[in-house]
């Protein structure tokens, strides 16, 4: 959708007034009207590192969701202030694992006599509290690009992995990349007593998957894949590993947002692609590569935007930038010191992965 010219001008003017004091990060799933003001674009991990590499920027305006702003706060210096233009921009997946639920799960693992063998591996898409839990219990963070390396490392440290909070990324990595079977995985449901598992089931499992999922990627189905193959002969199906196992198993290629972008850059003219990830990114890529003769469609026309990502729109960005330009620090995301220290430990283990 075309952006309101008055808002575009106001965003431009506020950004110019702030100069090097502000650095605007734009997640790949953000709206075009927001992305046009991003100094860099990327996935959550790349953006957090880009922010840390800009110590002169006093304000980091994070156009993305809450856990990403927390991660940026953890990885940047104390003088840098991270701002989320709309505090209601959360992530339904990250919200599926709370600190209390995860502490309760650890008690269940302890009662089953296996906690000492379990290494937590938490996806980047989790709250700072969950990252801190992970750091405290000897575990690491992973992204969708390095999940296999994180699991390889974790299975050198212990016999079992507790994978949080995305069951699909955990299962897809274990089965597709590590050669495990579906039977090696169990799902821990935080809404059931003992996670809905017996002690025997927990003892037999190699992968204990938290029952979380992405409300966008979780909606692609095997029918989405079959339908697009019938509609577009010769289409290459490329999906994000947050999709369900049957979708990933039926796809031609699987990878993170950065992988998807690189694959499309390298794709030959005339090739056809159906992409299973967030719609803002797919539309942007379709427009970008259409002039090169690459046909790119969204994997399923009934799946829609990530509604919380879309909360960050041009009016919220203008409000945040104008407030900062007037000296009002609004919507700061600040992780407390203790949580930050343990979360950082988990993130540093990821950075040290071979
Ligand atoms: O699904 C998401 O929100 C992704 C891929 C986030 C990220 O950048 O890690
Ligand atoms: Fe969370 Fe999914 Fe939205 Fe990403 S796309 S922010 S994982 S709900």
295 is in an annotated binding site: no
The Cα 14–Cα 11 span in angstroms is: 5
In this prediction the ipTM stands at 0.95
Domain 94-214 CATH (choose: 1.10.340.70, 3.40.50.10800, 3.40.50.2300, 3.30.2230.10)? 3.40.50.10800
pTM of the full predicted structure?
0.96
How far does residue 242's CA lie from ligand 1's centre (Å)? Answer: 9
Look at the chain and count its residues.
354
Domain spanning 217-298: which superfamily? NadA-like (3.40.50.10800)
All residue ranges of the chain with pLDDT < 70 are 1
Residue 253: strand pairing partners: 238
Give the Cα separation of 71 and 219 in Å (integer).
26
pLDDT for residue 246: 98
What is the predicted pLDDT for the residue at 3? 84
66 is in an annotated binding site: no
Position 123 scores a pLDDT of 98
So what's the pLDDT on residue 119?
Answer: 98
Atom of ligand 2 nearest to the CA of 93: 1
5-91+309-336: CATH class = alpha beta
Please determine whether the domains at 5-91+309-336 and 94-214 fall in the same fold group of CATH: yes
- Residue of 26, 27, 169 to mutate, ligand 1, most atoms within 8 A of C-beta: 27
pLDDT of residue 1: 55
> Facing residues of 63 across strands?
26
Ligand 2: list residues with CB < 6 Å: 29, 65, 91-93, 125, 214-216, 278, 306, 308-309
The residue nearest atom 3 of ligand 1, judged by CA position, is: 125
Domain ranges of the chain: 5-91+309-336, 94-214, 217-298
Residue 122 annotated as lining a ligand binding site: no
Nearest ligand to the C-alpha atom of residue 214: 2
Query: Best of 43, 51, 145, 277 to mutate for ligand 1, by most ligand atoms within 8 A of CB?
Result: 43
- Dist. CA 186–CA 162, nearest whole Å: 10
Closest listed residue to residue 331, CA positions, set 44, 52, 48, 64: 64
CB 83 within 8 A of CB 59: yes
Tell whether 240 is in a known binding site: yes
Within 10 A of 183 (CB to CB), how many other CB atoms are there?
A: 9
Q: Is 241 one of the annotated binding-site residues?
A: yes
Task: Tell me if 28 is assigned to a ligand binding site.
Answer: no
Which residues have C-beta atoms less than 6 Å from ligand 1? 27, 43-44, 124-125, 143-144, 214, 242, 257
What's the 275 CA to ligand 1 centre distance in angstroms? 15
> Which residue's C-alpha comes closest to atom 8 of ligand 1?
43
């Amino acid at each position: 959708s075309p952006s309101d010219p008055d808002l575009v001008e106001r965003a431009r003017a506020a950004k110019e007034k702030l100069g090097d004091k502000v650095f605007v990060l734009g997640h790949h799933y953000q709206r075009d009207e927001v992305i046009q003001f991003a100094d860099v674009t990327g996935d959550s991990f790349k953006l957090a590192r880009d922010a840390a590499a800009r110590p002169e920027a006093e304000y980091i305006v994070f156009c993305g969701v809450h856990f990403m702003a927390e991660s940026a706060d953890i990885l940047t210096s104390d003088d840098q202030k991270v701002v989320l233009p709309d505090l209601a921009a959360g992530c339904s997946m990250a919200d599926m694992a709370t600190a209390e639920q995860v502490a309760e799960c650890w008690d269940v693992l302890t009662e089953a006599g296996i906690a000492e063998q379990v290494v937590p591996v938490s996806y980047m898409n989790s709250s700072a509290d969950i990252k801190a839990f992970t750091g405290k219990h000897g575990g690491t963070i992973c992204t969708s690009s390095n999940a296999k390396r994180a699991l390889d490392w974790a299975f050198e440290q212990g016999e079992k992995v507790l994978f949080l909070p995305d069951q699909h990324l955990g299962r897809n990595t274990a089965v597709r990349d590590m050669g495990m079977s579906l039977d090696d995985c169990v799902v821990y449901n935080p809404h059931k007593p003992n996670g809905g598992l017996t002690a025997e089931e927990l003892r037999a499992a190699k992968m204990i998957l938290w029952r979380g999922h992405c409300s966008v990627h979780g909606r692609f189905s095997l029918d989405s894949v079959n339908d697009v193959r019938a509609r577009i002969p010769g289409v290459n199906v490329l999906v994000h590993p947050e999709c369900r196992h049957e979708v990933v198993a039926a796809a031609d290629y699987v990878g993170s947002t950065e992988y998807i972008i690189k694959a499309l850059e390298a794709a030959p003219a005339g090739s056809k692609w159906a992409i299973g990830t967030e719609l803002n990114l797919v539309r942007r890529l379709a427009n970008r590569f259409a002039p090169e003769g690459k046909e790119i469609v969204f994997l399923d026309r009934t799946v829609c935007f990530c509604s919380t990502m879309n909360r960050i729109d041009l009016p919220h960005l203008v409000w945040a930038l104008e407030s900062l330009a007037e000296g009002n620090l609004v919507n700061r995301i600040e992780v407390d010191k203790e949580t930050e220290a343990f979360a950082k430990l988990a993130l540093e283990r990821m950075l040290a992965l071979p």
